[in-house]
Amino acid sequence: MRIFQKGFNYSQDGFGNRLVYHLQGCNMKCPWCSNPEGMRWEGVLITEEEWLLDEVCPHHAIRDKQLDRAVCRECKGRECVTEHRTKGIRLSYEEIEVDALVEEIIGNSPMFYDGGGVTFTGGEATLQFDELLETLKRLTAAGIHTAVETNGAHPRLQECFPYISQLIMDCKLCDEEKHRRATSISNAQTMENIRRAAELHPCLHIRVPLIGKVNDSEEDIRDFLEFFQSLRDGNVTFELLSYHEFGKKKWEQCGWEYQMTDAAHVKEETVKKFRDSIRGLGLNYMRT
Ligand code: SF4
């Protein structure tokens, strides 16, 4: 499996203390993504200008702490990362076999306190579907609490339900055309999977990343509320996550322009009104 980040986190990616794995690759292209290094399946070279050394590239793609990515695109050897290990340049992901991953997780299980466990997120965790499903099955058999954070767009997501203790799903927009414009793909499968999860999964947490000028209009919020109200609610919790620009530096380190502007910040009063409306419908709001 391709993993671009891993580490412990408390409560934000599931209950308790969790070992969180970020899986490489995503089928959406959200310009506000805070983990852009995980977007492309093929990975990306991440640079830290301060530590970038000319001498790690035999093809002269690095000069004066600047990387010429046009040269890298033609490069077969990638000597900068295959022959060197520096802070200045690295490939976004590392590969690990399912056997080794399961062993690593079980070995860390003494750290899973307060109802914790392991979380798979991304990128989009379900892009590596077969490996993810196999891993979830083995961890469930070992009694490990599992959480998956997903954009919900995989057509076989339901197959994973019996092996996911806590399912965390993003709901970015209810309007299909707007969703396509914002993320590059339709939301039809996501909406269907959220409906199924609300019916079938015992522990579903739905998150809305609230982005100014993308999904914070009165019409968008009305659509969300209508959709949420239509879901079975005893097993479902909801949460709003306001836009932040934590990912900005990472976009630059990947060599990409960060296109979000200040307009993406959502007014606190909009968030509060939306949150109050969710509670007003008798739905369960859960802050993580
Ligand atoms: S990918 Fe190739 S061309 Fe680019 S910095 Fe690394 S070694 Fe040089």
Task: Report CA torsion sign: 46, 51, 56, 58.
Answer: positive
| C-beta separation of 259 from 210 below 8 A | no
- Residue 233 has a pLDDT of 72
Which atom of ligand 1 lies closest to the CA of 68? 4
Which atom of ligand 1 lies closest to the CA of 74? 3
**What mean pLDDT comes out for the span 74-89?**
97
Distance 59 CA to ligand 1 centre (A): 7
**DSSP letters for the chain:** -EEEEEEEEESTTSSSEEEEEEES--S---TT-S-GGGS-TT--EEE-GGG--GGG-TTS-EETTEE-HHHHHT-SS-HHHHT---SSEEES-EE--HHHHHHHHHHTGGG--TT-EEEEESS-GGGGHHHHHHHHHHHHHTT--EEEEE-S--TTGGGGGGG-SEEEEE---SSHHHHHHHHSS-SHHHHHHHHHHHHH-SSEEEEEEE-TTTT-SHHHHHHHHHHHHTS--TTEEEEEEE---TTHHHHHHTT------GGGSPPHHHHHHHHHHHHHTT-EE---
**Cis ω on the peptide bond leading into residue 123 (within 30° of 0)?**
yes
Strand order in the sheet with 166-170: 94-95, 2-10, 17-23, 117-121, 146-150, 166-170, 204-210, 236-242, 284-285
Distance 31 CA to ligand 1 centre (A): 26
- Pocket probe for ligand 1: among 45, 48, 79, 254, the residue whose CB has the most ligand atoms within 8 Å is 79
pLDDT band at 26 (very low <50, low <70, confident <90, very high): very high
Which residue owns the Cα nearest ligand 1 atom 3? 72
How confident is the model over 102-145, as pLDDT tens digits?
Answer: 999 999 999 999 999 999 999 999 999 999 999 999 999 999 99
- Residue 12 has a pLDDT of 86
Q: Does 232 score more than 90 pLDDT?
A: no
- Residue 234 has a pLDDT of 82
**What mean pLDDT comes out for the span 146-170?**
98
Distance 47 CA to ligand 1 centre (A): 11
User: pTM for the full model?
Assistant: 0.96
- Pocket probe for ligand 1: among 71, 74, 86, the residue whose CB has the most ligand atoms within 8 Å is 71
Q: Does 11 score more than 80 pLDDT?
A: yes
Which residue owns the Cα nearest ligand 1 atom 2? 78
**What mean pLDDT comes out for the span 229-256?**
94
**What mean pLDDT comes out for the span 27-54?**
97
How confident is the model over 164-204, as pLDDT tens digits?
Answer: 999 999 999 999 999 999 999 999 999 999 999 999 999 99
Q: Does 262 score more than 90 pLDDT?
A: yes
91-103 b/e with 16+ CB inside 10 Å = b? Answer: bbbeebebeebbe
- Pocket probe for ligand 1: among 57, 73, 74, 85, the residue whose CB has the most ligand atoms within 8 Å is 57
Which residue owns the Cα nearest ligand 1 atom 8? 57
Average predicted confidence (pLDDT) for the chain: 97
CA dihedral 151, 129, 230, 216 (to 10 degrees): 0
**What mean pLDDT comes out for the span 47-51?**
97
pLDDT band at 3 (very low <50, low <70, confident <90, very high): very high
